Amino acid sequence: MLSVSSLLFLGSNASATETEAAPTKLYGTVSDKDGLPLSNIEITATGPEGFSKTVETDAQGNWEVSVLTKGTFSLTINQEDLPEGQSLTDPTKGTVKANVFSLGIELKLLFPIGPGVAKTSLLERSAQLAVDGLILGLVIGLAALGLNLIFGTTGLTNFAHGEILTLGGLLTYYLSAIVKLPVIVSVPIAVLLGAFISGFLQDRYLWKPLRKRGTGLIAMLVVSIGLAIFLRYFFLFLFGGDTRQLPQYAGQAGLQLGLVSITPKSVVTTIFGIIFIVLATLWLLKTRMGKASRAVSDNPALASASGIDVQKVIRAVWILGAALATYAGVIITVNQGVSFLMGQDMLLLIFAAVTLGGLGTANGALVGSLIIGLFVQLSTLFIPTELKYVGALIVLIIILIVRPQGILGKKERIG
Amino acid sequence: MDFLFVIQQTLSATIGVNTIIFALAAIGLNMHFGYTGLLNFGQAGFLAIGAYSVAVPVVSFGVPLWIAFLIGIFNSVIFALLLGIPTLRLRADYLAIVTIAAAEIVRQIARSATFNEWLGGSDGITGKFGKEFFDLNPFKSGLDTPILRFNANDLWVVIVGWSLVAVITFVMWVMVNSPWGRLMRAIREDEDAVRSLGKNVYLYKMQSLIIGGVIGSIGGFVYALSRQSVQPDNYGTALTFFAYTVLILGGAARVFSPIVGAMIFWFLIVFIEQILRQGVTNDLIPDWLIGVNQVGQIRFMLMGLGLMALMIFRPQGIFGDKKELALDAKA
Amino acid sequence: MQKPKSADASFALTTSPTPGSAKSDPILIADKIVRQFGGLTAVNVDHLEIQRGSITALIGPNGAGKTTFFNLLTGYDSPNSGKWSFNGKDLNGIPPHKVARLGMVRTFQLTKALYRLTVIENMALGARGQKGESVLRSIFPWIWRAQEAEIRTRATAILTNFKLIEKQDDFAAALSGGQRKLLEMARALMVEPEMIMLDEPMAGVNPALKQSLLEHIKELRTEGKTVLFVEHDMDMVREISDWVIVMAQGEVIAEGTPASVMGNKDVIAAYLGAHHDEDLSTSAEGAQA
């Protein structure tokens, strides 16, 4: 995923002293995508009262322009000066503006530079984004299915669900990069371990005792927040803050399939993802335990009265949900690497998908996930990539206004 | 180990700027969650709106600080309306999801390059936007005693901040003990029953959302002014969750709980952090176990565990009374 | 608002005992109300009138749509089609709180006492037009203190009548199930309604309390209020109601005086058809309509 966020920013810095007559310093550093400084790049500043000044970056890539008047200044980078293979990530952002409202301060400005972006047709971009969106939707769907099953059977809105993905990713990384098992062996072990730790153990030693105590739903929700915070920083403590790639298949080249390019590892992990979703759906629809889980969702008291072992059903749902979410984490890890924030970044999208589909409806979660996945990716055709999650969340809010029960949810009865 | 230093740092933090910010955030949440039963998970969004409403007009548009405060209040009212109109008619968990999403929208827009000309991107805004406020500072020097230490600016922020907290708490106390407050608590218990008595529940929930949100945004004012900067990533979901921790520590639905909770919260955080830091730098804790940079992570882990333990074993808060337990089995 | 007339049970003698029959002075008129859940028609009431100043019982087997019908009339649910009016005022699309303000106040099958409010607070909440409920005026206690005192006096009087006065400072959660039913009814009276709608007022109430509840309901009629209640306890229906409406499978299948309805073959068939083992005189309803 390409992110231009934080490459281009404007901030003002008040570290200078406050004599009103002092000049305001506009400054910045021009560096390439790897952070290496670019020297001899021409930058032109224009401003009020005919102000115009041209400077060049020094050996460290630094430049500065001092101004003595307040007002709006425009700084333009000479794009021709950029070396081969380097260009602005957004060619239209060759000029940035600086608002100088007080003198004696420093304003830092950056120009976003990355590898030259190859021009592709709108059709190709749309096709590529649609495929990316479907894969993202699948990842969200794997996680959302489990979240929704757990919500349906226990009423728990689990804010620590994202951490199941992170743990899945970390286990895969540990087995593959440190124990040096092949990825193809690491993944099944990671999924089994994830199902055991995040599913069985979590339910057995945390949620089951809480249910027995009669802890309220909101109280359990807050407990899950505490757990999420604990796990997140525990992962950070163990693993550090970087995003790490699996050494195997790291630089895999993409296959060109018609309009889209896709890596073999992405194809394989996606196919298994689809298989897991199909199996989980069959489990829900065909097996005794799956049917029982739906009965528990509908009416726990009635299910229990009709001889269903509710605790056993909940345990099964936790194990299944954790296995699916772990695999969602595996897909992200194999294709994009793993970081301790991975789960947190996904959690809101998972919630959005579940809400969109209708809380507690299993197939709704899948539909919602695909919509969110597609929307997040396709929206970048029209809005900046860094705002793609914002777009998805706004859509969520709009859909809630129009159809409060979600796309597939049923209207509630009162009284 | 320098125990005196640990004590000085801890006590200063207990009544310090962060305590004030979290107390204000939690007072707002107390209105929402404690008294009305609204699960607002977007309190960080209100603080962000408050902080940016002070910084942006002053730094990017040269607006006087006092006008910026009014803009901040206005914006937080608008934000509350935007959140409330679609969700207050829906089930409680929808409000939770929409508010957490909305707060993230605010943060991501604030840190985006697209709007960096006004909002400062991921670096936020650093500038002299508190000048009018600090010009009024009567203290020429800070406070430096063995047990408390503030620089001149912080001392001024702390005194004004606590006065604000006191005034807001007093008004809250009057309000929750009025028929209006009774109506709010009734809504928390059962909306349908309140509707059956001829009360417009939607309107009252909106009032609660606005009042709690405005109080949160005042917390944002303090946040921005005290640091003379706003950083978008300070206003993530973690801020909301810690505000909840503060509220639950003190015990929801009690007027003084946010203040007590914020003091305990920051006392524990700084105390634990200082002890760990001293332990690591004095080689009392081996390096392979905890590095200097990992102290902050341990702190967060303990906060997470603490929140869980609190919710499981003392959901009524440290000083709470089980009888009027504010957290119930309804969702 | 129209001034309620005094109780007049004689209408029962002059009104035709057929479903949807016209009443001499109807306070509530419902027309062609249909509510469907998915493919299931829960309520399908062609025409119904409720006589002002009477006690009318709404009975029927489980799943007959009684509670759903209550929800529709009071604005808690909206029908797929149909219209209904209260005191001549069209209630289509009117939200529940406005229905209550018009003078039609309901209680709930599953009692909605506000548990973490005290009994007296529960009562005071019911009063209308409270100055202290305005967000701005709430900050200035001297504006609302006098009115609050009056409200408390009225609440205390009603609580005394309902024999709940010793409990006034207890949390509602501390009351027994029957006392909560009483409290809910007492609280509804604080709204000063013209018509009160009780959803299973007797469910879970012990026999000793039952008698006093019956007296309270009769008192309401004496005060000129209209009562519509859903009930399964046939003894109670027989004892206090002037008129009985029978619903089955969403439709009104019979109405008339208690005696005539209970001898009605259709009614007995409806009950027996739905629940072979249900005795007409027992009160047991688990699942709601």
Residues A217 and A327 occupy one common structural domain: yes
Handedness of CA B99, B103, B108, B114 (dihedral sign): positive
Whether B331 maps to a domain, the answer reads no
- CB-CB under 8 Å, B303 with A9: no
How far is CA A73 from each of CA B56, B110, B235, rounded to the nearest angstrom?
17, 22, 30
* B61 at A interface, C-beta within 8 A: yes
- CB-CB under 8 Å, C108 with A413: no
- CB-CB under 8 Å, C108 with A415: yes
ipTM score: 0.86
Residues A22 and A160 occupy one common structural domain: no
The residue in chain C having the minimum alpha-carbon distance to the alpha carbon of residue B183 is C125
The confidence score (pLDDT) of residue C95 equals 92
How far apart, in whole angstroms, are the C-alpha atoms of residue C96 and residue C81?
Answer: 18
Whether B32 maps to a domain, the answer reads yes
Average pLDDT, chain A: 82
Whether A9 maps to a domain, the answer reads yes
Provide the token pair at B199: 């009360």
pLDDT digits (tens, 9 = 90+) for A351-383: 888 888 776 666 788 888 998 999 999 988 888
How far apart, in whole angstroms, are the C-alpha atoms of residue A313 and residue A289?
Answer: 7
Residues A161 and A286 occupy one common structural domain: yes
Chains that touch A (3 or more CB pairs under 8 A): B, C
B180 contact residues in C (CB cutoff 8 A): 132-135, 138
Whether A64 maps to a domain, the answer reads no
- CB-CB under 8 Å, B183 with C125: yes
- CB-CB under 8 Å, C70 with A415: yes
Residues A26 and A131 occupy one common structural domain: no
- CB-CB under 8 Å, B193 with C138: no
CATH code, B85: 1.10.3470
Within the 13-42 window of chain B, which residues sit less than 8 Å (CB to CB) from chain C? none
Exposure b/e, C216-233, CB count within 10 A at least 16 = b: bbeebbeeebbbbbbbbb
Please tell me whether residue B170 adopts helix, strand or coil conformation: helix
- CB-CB under 8 Å, C96 with B182: no
- Residue position matching structure tokens 């124990």: A179
Tally of domains within chain A: 2
Whether B329 maps to a domain, the answer reads no
* A402 at C interface, C-beta within 8 A: no
Within the 36-55 window of chain C, which residues sit less than 8 Å (CB to CB) from chain A? 37-38
CATH code, A225: 1.10.3470
Cα A298 to chain centroid, rounded: 32
Instruction: Tell me which residue in A217, A225, A384 faces B329 most closely, judged by beta carbons.
Output: A217
Instruction: Tell me which residue in C38, C71, C199 faces A414 most closely, judged by beta carbons.
Output: C71
C197 contact residues in B (CB cutoff 8 A): none
Q: Identify the weakest region by mean pLDDT among A24-28, A31-35, B51-55, B192-196.
A: A31-35
Q: Can you give the pLDDT of all 331 residues of chain B as single tens digits?
A: 688 888 999 999 999 999 999 999 999 999 999 999 999 999 999 999 999 999 999 888 888 999 999 999 999 999 999 889 878 877 777 788 889 999 999 999 998 888 887 888 888 888 778 888 998 889 888 888 888 889 998 999 999 999 999 999 999 999 999 999 999 999 999 999 999 999 999 999 999 999 999 999 999 999 999 998 899 999 998 899 999 999 988 888 889 999 999 999 999 989 988 888 888 888 788 877 777 778 888 888 998 999 899 888 887 777 666 554 443 433 3
Q: Where a domain ends, among A112, A138, A165?
A: A112
Write out the residue range of the structural domain in which residue A12 sits. 1-30+102-112
pLDDT digits (tens, 9 = 90+) for C138-177: 999 999 999 999 999 999 999 998 889 999 999 998 888 8
Q: In order of start, what are the domains of chain C with their CATH numbers?
A: 17-113+195-211+225-278 (3.40.50.300), 118-174 (no CATH)
Residues A106 and A194 occupy one common structural domain: no
Q: Where a domain ends, among A112, A147, A182?
A: A112
C134 contact residues in B (CB cutoff 8 A): 180
Helices of type H across chain B: 3-14, 17-29, 36, 43-61, 65-87, 92-111, 116-119, 131-135, 152-176, 179-189, 191-196, 201-227, 237-250, 257-281, 295-313
Residues sharing a CB contact under 8 Å with residue A220, sequence separation 6 or more, in sequence order: A155, A156, A207, A210
How far apart, in whole angstroms, are the C-alpha atoms of residue A10 and residue A14?
Answer: 13
Residues A108 and A153 occupy one common structural domain: no
B195 contact residues in C (CB cutoff 8 A): 76, 95-97, 100
Write out the residue range of the structural domain in which residue B256 sits. 3-324
* B314 at A interface, C-beta within 8 A: no
Q: What is the interface size between B and C, counted as CB pairs within 8 Å? A: 102
- CB-CB under 8 Å, B331 with A221: yes
Tally of domains within chain B: 1
Instruction: Sort A272 into a burial class: Cβ within 10 Å, 0-12 / 13-18 / 19+.
Output: middle
The order of strands in the sheet holding A71-77 is: A52-56, A42-46, A71-77, A95-100
Whether A72 maps to a domain, the answer reads no
* A288 at C interface, C-beta within 8 A: no
Whether B20 maps to a domain, the answer reads yes
CB C278 within 8 A of CB C284: yes
Helix A310-336 and helix A264-286, axial crossing angle in degrees, nearest 10: 170
Within the 20-39 window of chain C, which residues sit less than 8 Å (CB to CB) from chain B? none
Residues A108 and A167 occupy one common structural domain: no
